[in-house]
Structure 1
């Protein structure tokens, strides 16, 4: 599989440049850009996995989520620049649904087929449940409720205020987990030792170099990908909402999707769960509010107000994940439940 991704990168990056300069068909370019981003994301995933072995599951999961979300953040910034507010909000929705239902679902399902019962740190699960309640349910629902009776200008100001609070709390959560309470809530699991004994695929220097180069390449391809959305949507009959929720979210989060599933298959559930839930928290409490603040630099600013289908599906996904993960263990059937929820919501967004 690594050889396939290598070929896709070596062919995809030059073809992306040539196709852009020669103005190829939007459909062909859309396919080339998506495959190239997914292939580049796989290298980002391998690099962060190497760093995770050195740094441990918490920091490793955070790194994976951060660089995985970096792809989507880059795509979203270029979409904001083009005024595609609907696509950006839909892609944020797709990230939350994709991480909580698709990534976690596939991880639990595939890992559960190999191991009858998989466990992860129950203290982290309960800590993340509280943050999910706040980041997804409180921070996204409250702006929607107040926006019903609030002028548009005040809605934007309200969104900016919420965004600042979310970013501060997210940074405080990192401080709590990685500094002030690091190692306080440990289980008897010996997975930490197992990670330390494992040899990383790449050294720290090479991994960081690959991450930087892949991120630069993704930034270039993503900017061009955004320009194909309108014509691709018209050709296939896809709505702006469906493109954002499904297409952009899956392409933008390809790195963490693959990494979480591989970690679950290796029974490294602490990393798999940290990638799936940690990435969701990062999207809700850092990426989304950051995009609101960045949008102030463009002609069309983005308030933190989602459509009703987006809002209800995100709240449902968060509640389902809290219920399933709160006991610190999982199996293939719970994974199948999450996947079934994702498919139901995906069909709904396609038919809207």
Structure 2
């Protein structure tokens, strides 16, 4: 039923997005059409990566889900940088971090916990991810803010570029560690075997084709979505900060939202956690640095400097998810705790 609804939204949304952009329909109407179309396309990306996860295993499946899910955010952000909306991009990165950790993680733990009393996942991965989260968010994002206080604008950009290169190098090293040099060393004790007997919805070739087609469609819709932000913000009284932290982050990460919850309800917590936390790591250690480097190609370069509310929200989210997930198991109440933290931050960003 839900899959049919998303299919209808894609078949209707993509043509309407093209027609509306060519005929210059009202921005608020097009904003709604673009968002629904991106969410529907993201659901196909989620189903395709779920099929690949069955074939390739939870780690690679979760990584693919995070990568293609974050591709949406990356595409939206590049067009936003091109339009000079640096504040929106930084806010959307903040929204992705707190959204993946608190909203996606919280909904996954909560929905899965309603069905299963206790859900376990690979504790070694959880502890490994905890260290990377502390580095990727707490260290790499706080340091530029501290040093930028006594630096000129050009020096701040240089610092951001240097940190970005280090982040990308460490992220690639982390992938090599998990997928090559230490693959299988810290094996999950949970029934990964059951995933091997499950039939994927689509075979590898079809899944990859759907992923590619959906990504191209999302790129087109996202470019047009960015141009509606200003008028939509004025119409609803939303600030660029709120649009970036809440709206763009939720729309841009719709694929992870859907897939992580589905996996949690199926008690495949290794994949659900890999999507939520792995996606956050990819945002902090790859997407954000890439955007800094890409911004050098445009008139306005983007420094890796966030506002104080954004920094505190991200650091708090990281500390909370580490405390909750470090034991390798979770329940519905812990998920509800993460969701409560997300809504508190959402209220704060709305009122700023």
Given the two structures, how large is their TM-score scaled by the length of structure 2?
0.99
2:340 aligns to what?
A: 340
1:48 aligns to what?
A: 49
Rounded to whole Å, the distance in 2 between the matches of 1:286 and 1:244 is: 19
Cα deviation, 1:37-88, whole Å, max 9, x if unaligned, reads: 0000000000000000000000000000000000000000000000000000
Residues 80 and 86 in structure 2, CA contact (< 8 A), matched pair in contact too: yes
Rounded to whole Å, the distance in 1 between the matches of 2:319 and 2:56 is: 31
Rounded to whole Å, the distance in 1 between the matches of 2:42 and 2:190 is: 30
Rounded to whole Å, the distance in 1 between the matches of 2:332 and 2:42 is: 26
Rounded to whole Å, the distance in 2 between the matches of 1:22 and 1:90 is: 30
Rounded to whole Å, the distance in 1 between the matches of 2:156 and 2:47 is: 41
Cα deviation, 1:260-305, whole Å, max 9, x if unaligned, reads: 0000000000000000000000000000000000000000000000
**In structure 2, the residue corresponding to 1:301 is in which secondary structure?**
coil
Count matched residues: 351
Residue 189 of structure 1 deviates from its aligned partner by 1.9
Alignment of 1:252 with 2:263, yes or no, is: no
Alignment of 1:235 with 2:235, yes or no, is: yes
Rounded to whole Å, the distance in 1 between the matches of 2:177 and 2:314 is: 25
Residue 186 of structure 1 deviates from its aligned partner by 1.3
**In structure 1, the residue corresponding to 2:322 is in which secondary structure?**
helix
Alignment of 1:303 with 2:303, yes or no, is: yes
Cα deviation, 1:206-250, whole Å, max 9, x if unaligned, reads: 000000000000000000000000000000000000000000000
Residues 122 and 189 in structure 2, CA contact (< 8 A), matched pair in contact too: no
1:201 aligns to what?
A: 201
Rounded to whole Å, the distance in 1 between the matches of 2:125 and 2:181 is: 14
**In structure 2, the residue corresponding to 1:33 is in which secondary structure?**
helix
Residue 187 of structure 1 deviates from its aligned partner by 3.4
**In structure 1, the residue corresponding to 2:183 is in which secondary structure?**
coil
Q: CA RMSD in A?
A: 0.4
Matches within 5 A, 1:128-207: 128-190=129-191, 192-207=192-207
Rounded to whole Å, the distance in 2 between the matches of 1:285 and 1:167 is: 6
Alignment of 1:264 with 2:257, yes or no, is: no
Cα deviation, 1:120-149, whole Å, max 9, x if unaligned, reads: 000000000000000010000000000011
1:90 aligns to what?
A: 91
Rounded to whole Å, the distance in 1 between the matches of 2:284 and 2:54 is: 26
**In structure 1, the residue corresponding to 2:90 is in which secondary structure?**
helix
Rounded to whole Å, the distance in 2 between the matches of 1:163 and 1:26 is: 35
Rounded to whole Å, the distance in 2 between the matches of 1:203 and 1:336 is: 36
Rounded to whole Å, the distance in 1 between the matches of 2:189 and 2:196 is: 16
**In structure 2, the residue corresponding to 1:306 is in which secondary structure?**
coil
2:104 aligns to what?
A: 103
